[in-house]
Amino acid sequence: MLQTELTNERKALAEAQQALNRSHTGKGGDTTALQNVVFDRQQNIQALQRELNHMYVIQTMPELMRIIDE
Helix/strand/coil for 26:
coil
Asked if residue 27 has pLDDT above 70, the reply is no
Residues shown for the chain? 70
- The number of distinct structural domains making up the chain is 1
> What's the domain range around 35?
2-69
- Residues 44-57 have pLDDT tens digits of 999 999 999 999 88
Rounded mean pLDDT of 25-41? 87
N-term to C-term CA, the chain:
34
63 vs 42, residue with greater confidence:
42
